[in-house]
Structure 1
Amino acid sequence: MTPAVFLAVLAAAAMHASWNAMIKVRLDRFASVTLMTFGMAAAALPVLPFVDVPDAEVWLWIAISVFCHMGYKLCLIKAYEAGDLAQTYPLARGTAPLLTTIGGVFLLSEIPQPLALAGIVLLCAGTLLMSFRGGRHLERLNTGAVGYALATSVFIAGYTLTDGSGARLAESASSYAAWLFLCDGLWSLVLCLILRGRGTLAAVAGEWKMGLLTGALSAAAYWIAMWAMTKAPIASVAALRETSILFAMMISVVVLGEKLTRWRITAALTIVAGVVAMRLA
């Protein structure tokens, strides 16, 4: 991974943490995620005239990705409902890079170098440590929460491998990303109407400014990730993206005034060690 790609993925991780911190609007979780997805589609619209229309084989990857993103969102919402957000979200994010690494080995024949693999493991370990011992008081996870969180991680690994492959096959990562964001937004509209009806759309419309802002940040962060996956191994990019939880911790401490505990420091140092190992690989 070149220095430019490495720094770009770290910047994307910071953006990811930022929009997650900002999305706490006056909506339930389903509506909040739908709002952000609409924002991503809106951010993609001005780009469409300047990128190529994907070929038929690329559209297949986009369709698979939209399905995986739908599964990711629905399972994540269910995980939030079943258990503590502070545990379920990092559990999903921390497990996903390991699944992506395994999938990359068997599906794409991308075998990480030993130092890169050590970095991936350290990043995942730090993320999981931040999850289970990073908060003030975390309840034991119930079976439902664990199941939904792990299902979420499977979908994350699925869309990561799919989007990495699709972006490599497309004319450019920008073309793939723009059309993916638009299709995902349109499908989210259909799903919202089916599951919630027009009432939710009215509530979402009232928060359109926040939707545009979080959507633009999310779109930029994931576009960078897809571009990076055309330049570096998908598993390495996926793991490095999870430094977003380190940036989220920094936001919580500096902006929200949360306590920096020994466990948080240990988890942060583990994540940093993983970042260093991946940079040296």
Structure 2
Amino acid sequence: MSAWIQSIEGTDQGATVALILALLAAVLHAVFGALQKGRHDPMLARGAIDASYGLMAAPFALFVVPWPEPHMWPIFAGVFVIHAGYKFAVLAAYRRGAFTVVYPVMRGTGPLFTIVGAWLIFGETFSAVQWLGVVVLLAGLYGLAAFNMARVTVARDTLVPALAFAVLTGLFVALYTTYDAYGIRATADPFTFLAWFFFIDGLLFPVLATRFYRRMGSPPALGPLALRGVVGGVVAFASFGSIMLATRLDQVGEAAVLRETSTVFAALIGWLFLREPVGPARTALMGLIALGAVIVEFGG
């Protein structure tokens, strides 16, 4: 698999595979977001998910893939710090604001700054048509956030700090997307980066979540929490793994934009499986998000 990935880098086939991976990451990221925002406190859910994928990745990192080259260790240290900051920002936003408001803001801020970062670090540029697609996509995302904000009835007193943390989360999304793209390109075997990424990234939050759990007055049962962690761990492997491989195979900015169609897939999941109403306004805004992604993909 590693040899095949390396053989299609920078080719038309590689671009097609990157497109498929980015869309797969979008679908799975919608599922992943719902798992974090479920009936458990976000800290507990995050700790269970990180513990699961850290344990799953450990044997692959230690015994299956080639060990990282010496220059990779400082990169992994940066990965650890950046992703820890991202998770703290996500938890702060989720605890202060409604999911339907903060999630589109998080996802809208991320690709804009990722495109700028990819230009600064990798020299990637967008055409005028692609920038039009970015504007259309962001209009859909921020329009969806504003539409939901006008109708939300819970946590309105903490809405401003929730939005501030959502913007901060978007900045971290841009930072980790660009940095992870740099990391996965810096090692010969992309699966070395993926295995060690999940192993290292799964070290911190299980410890924090355990301390939080022990301080709770009425802690939840561990069985459902553990199940959420295992399912979330598998989804995280597929979601984050897909987007990282996509950024190695093709442009980082394009992959970041395509991933933000996760907002559309999240709404579709809610409509199909949770019987949540969508309505004509939300449908139109989600249409803008999808249209923007299509313009970016085919406007290059």
When the two structures are superposed, what TM-score results if normalisation uses the length of structure 2?
0.84
Match of 2:58 among 22, 27, 45: 45
| CA–CA separation in structure 1 for the residues paired with 2:182 and 2:103 | 25
Residue 93 (str. 1) matches residue 107 (str. 2): yes
Q: Check 1:262–1:35 CA distance in 2 against 1; reply closer, same or farther (3 A cut).
A: same
CA apart distance, 1:6:
0.8
For the 8 Å contact 2:117–2:178, the answer to whether it is kept is yes
Q: Which runs of 5+ in 2 are unaligned?
A: 1-13
* CA offset digits 1:70-92 (Å, max 9, x no partner): 11111111112222222112211
Q: Which runs of 5+ in 1 are unaligned?
A: none
Residue equivalent to 2:146: 132
Residue equivalent to 2:290: 272
Residue 164 (str. 1) matches residue 164 (str. 2): no
Report the residue type matching 2:26 in the other structure.
A
CA apart distance, 1:95:
0.6
- Greater mean alpha carbon deviation, residues 99-108 or residues 222-231: 99-108
| CA–CA separation in structure 1 for the residues paired with 2:222 and 2:76 | 26
Larger radius of gyration: 2
Percentage of pairs with the same residue: 28
For the 8 Å contact 2:37–2:99, the answer to whether it is kept is no
* Counterparts of residues 196-211 of structure 1 (less than 5 Å): 196=212, 198=214, 205-206=222-223, 207-211=225-229
Q: Check 1:235–1:249 CA distance in 2 against 1; reply closer, same or farther (3 A cut).
A: same
* Counterparts of residues 11-22 of structure 1 (less than 5 Å): 11-22=24-35
| CA–CA separation in structure 1 for the residues paired with 2:80 and 2:97 | 26
| CA–CA separation in structure 2 for the residues paired with 1:26 and 1:264 | 25
- Greater mean alpha carbon deviation, residues 155-164 or residues 259-268: 259-268
CA apart distance, 1:138:
2.3
Match of 1:255 among 251, 266, 273: 273
For the 8 Å contact 2:36–2:42, the answer to whether it is kept is no
The CA RMSD measured in Å over matched residues stands at: 2.3
Report the residue type matching 2:64 in the other structure.
F
| CA–CA separation in structure 2 for the residues paired with 1:189 and 1:22 | 16
CA apart distance, 1:7:
1.6
Residue equivalent to 2:71: 57
**Secondary structure in 2 aligned to 1:129?**
helix
For the 8 Å contact 1:35–1:204, the answer to whether it is kept is no
Report the residue type matching 1:83 in the other structure.
G
* Counterparts of residues 172-251 of structure 1 (less than 5 Å): 172-192=189-209, 196=212, 198=214, 205-206=222-223, 207-251=225-269
CA apart distance, 1:241:
0.6
Residue equivalent to 2:96: 82
CA apart distance, 1:43:
3.0
Residue equivalent to 2:49: 36
CA apart distance, 1:26:
4.5
Report the residue type matching 1:7 in the other structure.
I
**Secondary structure in 1 aligned to 2:202?**
helix
Number of residues of Structure 1 aligned to a counterpart in Structure 2: 279
